[in-house]
Structure 1
């Protein structure tokens, strides 16, 4: 079952934004001060131009020329000052944005690592990957670029509006009244944008999940001839993502033309109304020119804001998805209790996925130290679910799964690794050195112990690596094949040294030759440990000391191979069907 990670609400996103400002308040305060100074400097030049117009109109002559020259020089000076202040305010804004982006990335990683293993396992890989990559990147880009530029534009716009109203309130109000069309268009857009961009992000996650799962399971898709079904699923996801993208594109095609037209209206209004006022003697020509220049300047911050408003909506939706991890259930605090022994006890265990009907129904099972137990049954009987509960990856809805009297799911990760380890057909090689890939299992292991673990699982290829343990394992440098990656996983088990291993068809997807080599390595790892084999093939169960037969979430038979055959029950029927009898 796939779980859906939560999305943060507007209030949470606002609190997160305020938290980022408080975390670097002095840089933010400096950016604010520089923006105010730059905006004030931008107001001086139009006012000086108005003075020039009035001076020339009142007293043309040599005295006026000298005054105009001095005023023009002042315009040059204040323009240079404005450019320097605006440039440095952007620089400080970028510094603030980079710091905030770094904190968001670190917090996302911390929250991801704090998620319970069951939550990560049940969450669509594409969703978590999209939040950690494209969503975090979009938020970082907004903090680095959009926020500083929009903040500068807002400051300039407010000062320009104030200046227009100051030089002549009536004329300024008449010009600014035409901005109501921008307000209407923007409100229309904002009411729809958040929902549209959240839908676009969700459809992108779904598409990433379909593509990732198809690529990672390519061999299974090919073996089961599921190509057409997977192609159909991919086409559906692509069409959904395309529709969501077109929806946001349509919103922009309505907003941007409306803003482009509306940004010109204040200038037109001031020139028309100012001409009438000038003819009536209500205002001077310099006042009209100054107001027109201010409103002409206003179009620049308006354009900046509108250009970034789409990015801010998209990044706001991404921020909500990133911050949504804060609302995800956190892993419970591990217990400090040490297991008294190696005995595993399953008592009256029931389990359900996502609060649906139980898939396990009152299981009781005891695994003694050193015992080899096989769990068999038809597909969907609950075998793998039981294996996850035994490994502490999931927690039973009711009942308990304990090792040495301590709930397995309550053990701290470093203690759990020494108790129970689950081996599946899935394995992961981190893009790091061979040494660090092994030290994940035991942080303080020496090089001699690392080599010994590799030798135990017959990983002879490790001795031939160009830089030995310091060789970086990655698709770009040195890629391990399936058998080598499985041997690396087994070497980690040797280093962790657990007393119990749970095998869930660990060699099922390997080719026959590689599987034989890996099984020989696996035999060396199993020596002296308790083994619980989730057997999808009955041949695996033949040599087990006991066999637990599951059906519809219950253990219906328990005994040795010979005992179960003698009973003539479900296991005997499965065995005869397996051998074609």
Structure 2
């Protein structure tokens, strides 16, 4: 429930505005009975019709005033609930996309249900709570105060039945909560089972399993229907209990007051005032109490609980650990595959990279080299083993610290519309022009920047004025300008010629941090201190000379490579 309450606290002013207008809305409940009673006792009952009408006109004006307050409440309701929904959707989408417990690439039907159903339930329930619970408190308090000050001798006729109804209703709440949760769980299970069958329809038909799949869906629908019926019976019983608290006071009033009026203890206007307070304020408030508690509050509690079950997925991405100063990267028995039953693309990998390490990763296309980059940077979680940065799990490192100290340069370059300076300083906003110019020179991008007009030069939409190779040079300079300890170049120089690629790699290698190059050309392996060969089996790690002897895959790759196109 943390994200929920944080989102509400962020809208404190809007909530306070709702409460302020609620006071105005409650004025009719406070004065309604008294004004009607005065109209009878001081007007109609003594033959002064115009005085009676005057009091009723005053009642009408008060009702209009309360209606204006209610209108303002609904007008400002969106200022609270819409930002709340946006915040919850952001939280749950982030949790689903960074699900650390599963590495399936199949859509998560349960997660979709959480987003589309539970977030909307929370939004609607919060709106209902702000409207109904707020009105319940204001209206009930105002009506009871008005009743007590107008006809105090009749207060007990209201209090006893209402307390009895509230006690019985409280006894029903646990079963209502269980029923509501069972209904929500049944809805989710139905969505998940039906989603799984629909997504795998081809496999179902190919295996001749239509009857089995249909039976699974029908069985879950029956469970859902049963939960709905049980919840309906519980709701009906709730209605009976609330009716006792709402109508019994009126019955008692009709039985007790004729004698009191005949004895002169009460006037007709006071009796009518009590009826107005009961019928227009207290009784509707009790019905709203039943609706608010047994539907709105229960639905809100269940939905928030289900949403909170996605919070660990988010928490895995928002750790608070700080890595050690050495910034070493360690992979211990790391295994990862794209699916629960898929063949791992990384298997039992042990790797240690310390400051000054320069590693090249080579292997056929699609063998898992980019996956390894995702594991090192913490974008992916291993299915087995651990990835450590500075001695702590990389995915538990404080996000700001991880983003500052680990940089991934992908093959696809992102440049935004703005100046060259803005683009280069994206990861180092406080860097001086001298630092940016030095980064540009180090990676060999000086000519590109000069052609654009220097640091004040403009870059068009998505880098449209640049070639793919020039964009990659600027992306390399941008990362070079930041103080990242670990730099992963994931085919980040694929659009450069071999000579320019060598300049970029040597520049990063000279920074005395950790450099990992997902090789586009085998010339990268010749420049590295160590080479990791990935060929679908157990990864092999060693120097170029050693791998030429021990790895047939590496030898074949080198034999097929034409050194004439490389600059080393």
TM-score by length of 1: 0.57
| Conserved? CA contact 1:369–1:529, under 8 Å | no
Tell me which residue corresponds to 2:427: 441
CA shift in 2, pair 1:141/1:107, >3 Å: closer
Tell me which residue corresponds to 2:29: 42
Tell me which residue corresponds to 2:319: 331
Do structure 1's residue 373 and structure 2's residue 360 form an aligned pair?
A: yes
Tell me which residue corresponds to 2:63: 79
Deviation at residue 277 of structure 1 after TM alignment: 3.5
Please, which of 470, 491, 505 is the counterpart of residue 526 of structure 1?
A: 505
| Conserved? CA contact 2:334–2:350, under 8 Å | no
Deviation at residue 276 of structure 1 after TM alignment: 3.7
Deviation at residue 151 of structure 1 after TM alignment: 0.9
| Partner Cα distance (1:519, 1:231) in 2 | 51
Deviation at residue 138 of structure 1 after TM alignment: 7.0
Q: Deviations over 1:357-388 (max 9, x none)?
A: 9x7758355689585623549988x8666545
| Conserved? CA contact 2:469–2:496, under 8 Å | no
| Conserved? CA contact 1:401–1:408, under 8 Å | yes
Tell me which residue corresponds to 2:154: 168
Do structure 1's residue 548 and structure 2's residue 548 form an aligned pair?
A: no
Helix, strand or coil at the partner of 2:26: helix
Tell me which residue corresponds to 2:209: none
Tell me which residue corresponds to 1:294: 277
Q: Deviations over 1:99-120 (max 9, x none)?
A: 7986997899899999xx9969
Once the two structures are superposed, the pairs formed by residues 410-449 of structure 1 within 5 Å of their partners are 421-424=407-410, 439-443=425-429, 444=431
| Partner Cα distance (1:259, 1:76) in 2 | 34
Structure 1 unaligned regions, length at least 5: 1-7, 215-225, 340-344, 508-514
| Partner Cα distance (1:449, 1:135) in 2 | 51
| Partner Cα distance (2:404, 2:54) in 1 | 83
Helix, strand or coil at the partner of 1:168: helix
| Partner Cα distance (2:498, 2:190) in 1 | 42
Tell me which residue corresponds to 1:151: 134
Q: Deviations over 1:442-481 (max 9, x none)?
A: 3247699699699949999x97xxx9847565xxxx9x89
CA shift in 2, pair 1:31/1:420, >3 Å: closer
| Conserved? CA contact 1:457–1:490, under 8 Å | no
| Conserved? CA contact 2:489–2:518, under 8 Å | yes
| Conserved? CA contact 1:438–1:488, under 8 Å | no
Tell me which residue corresponds to 1:190: 177
| Conserved? CA contact 2:169–2:241, under 8 Å | yes
| Conserved? CA contact 1:376–1:383, under 8 Å | yes
Deviation at residue 496 of structure 1 after TM alignment: 1.4
Structure 2 unaligned regions, length at least 5: 207-212, 510-514, 562-568
| Partner Cα distance (1:17, 1:392) in 2 | 27
| Partner Cα distance (2:91, 2:36) in 1 | 56
| Partner Cα distance (2:413, 2:102) in 1 | 14
Please, which of 5, 9, 17 is the counterpart of residue 20 of structure 1?
A: 9
| Conserved? CA contact 2:8–2:84, under 8 Å | no
Helix, strand or coil at the partner of 1:363: strand
TM-score by length of 2: 0.58
Helix, strand or coil at the partner of 1:440: coil
CA shift in 2, pair 1:307/1:94, >3 Å: farther
Q: How many residues align?
A: 510
